[in-house]
Amino acid sequence: MKGFGERLGFGKPKSQNERAAPERNLPSDVRYALQYRQARIGTAELRDLINNRFEREALYLTLKAHAENPEVQRSLIEELAKLVQPTESGDTPTEQEMRNGIAAIVEHGIEELPAEPEIKGAKLAQLSRQGFDFWQQRHAKAAEKYAVDPDDTFLVGHSMFVGLSEYMSAHAKQGKPLHLLIPAIFTDDSKDICGYRIEGGSVEDLPKDFERDTHAVVIDDVSNTGDTRRSIEAFWSAGGAHELPRFEYLSGDQSKGL
């Protein structure tokens, strides 16, 4: 029987090709949280992640932690939008500049969190099974694809935020707006928004009554129970749409080749 660490991908056997590629390993305190603290992540673990080349994963957790505070969440996303925005000459940040910039955004997000937050980090275990770099490469490939897709792009939050910088960068290069659709927000009757619209280095609230385009694609990482899709379809229809968006996934039976 496989041990917990092997099931999470911390100690699983590697093929010769897999061993040839450098691999990121979760910091020990983060592994401990996944195994013994019901995957509850705090600020110390967030800083461990950004200090060990897991900046994008730390950003996902930080944005998720601010689900109840859309103003802070939007401000952090706007920082990222400015980071990835190409210059007038078309230059974009290097990978090191991107990582440093994302780390700074995470720090800003940590400053706005309670002293001892408990962020659900179980997705880290899911990502580790196939490899963190494998998922980032998959996000990068998908980002390039949807940046030139004629349909409006909607990312499902917060799951797709692991690769958010890739989608924002690719869409910024093409001058195409990017939409973030967050079930945790649009199912909250106390909130008037359902997510955000990103364009030209700025981020705007996406109101619940936004005009549903008949040509839209909703992208999620995996299709599990189907609850998220049903929730989005109901929300989309409630907005007066006569046609549902198409759904595509980065893995599973409906991956569309990604």
pLDDT digits (tens, 9 = 90+) for 208-245: 999 987 799 999 999 888 899 999 999 999 988 889 99
49: nearest Cα among 36, 65, 60: 60
**What's the angle, vertex CA 169, arms to CA 163 and CA 171, rounded to 5?**
105
Q: What kind and span of H or E run contains 158?
A: none
* CA-only gyration radius of the chain, Å: 18
Task: Inform me whether the pLDDT recorded for 256 exceeds 80.
Answer: no
Whether the upstream peptide bond of residue 215 has omega within 30° of 0, thus cis, is no
pLDDT of residue 166: 98
pLDDT of residue 242: 83
Alpha carbon distance 198, 206 (integer Å): 9
Q: Check if the beta carbon of residue 181 is closer than 8 Å to that of residue 156.
A: yes
| Alpha-helical runs (H) found in 4-131 | 4-7, 16-20, 28-36, 43-50, 55-65, 70-84, 95-111, 122-130
Higher pLDDT, 114 or 168: 168
Task: Inform me whether the pLDDT recorded for 127 exceeds 50.
Answer: yes
pLDDT of residue 22: 63
Q: Check if the beta carbon of residue 39 is closer than 8 Å to that of residue 125.
A: yes
pLDDT of residue 33: 97
Alpha carbon distance 86, 213 (integer Å): 27
Alpha carbon distance 199, 177 (integer Å): 5
Q: Check if the beta carbon of residue 127 is closer than 8 Å to that of residue 162.
A: yes
Residue entry with tokens 């195994």: 35
Average pLDDT, the chain: 89
Alpha carbon distance 86, 6 (integer Å): 41
Q: How many helices (H) and strands (E) does the chain have?
A: 12, 8
pTM: 0.88
Task: Inform me whether the pLDDT recorded for 2 exceeds 50.
Answer: no
Q: What kind and span of H or E run contains 228?
A: helix 227-238
Task: Inform me whether the pLDDT recorded for 104 exceeds 80.
Answer: yes
Task: Inform me whether the pLDDT recorded for 4 exceeds 50.
Answer: no
Q: Check if the beta carbon of residue 159 is closer than 8 Å to that of residue 220.
A: yes
Domain range summary for the chain, segments of one domain joined by +:
21-249
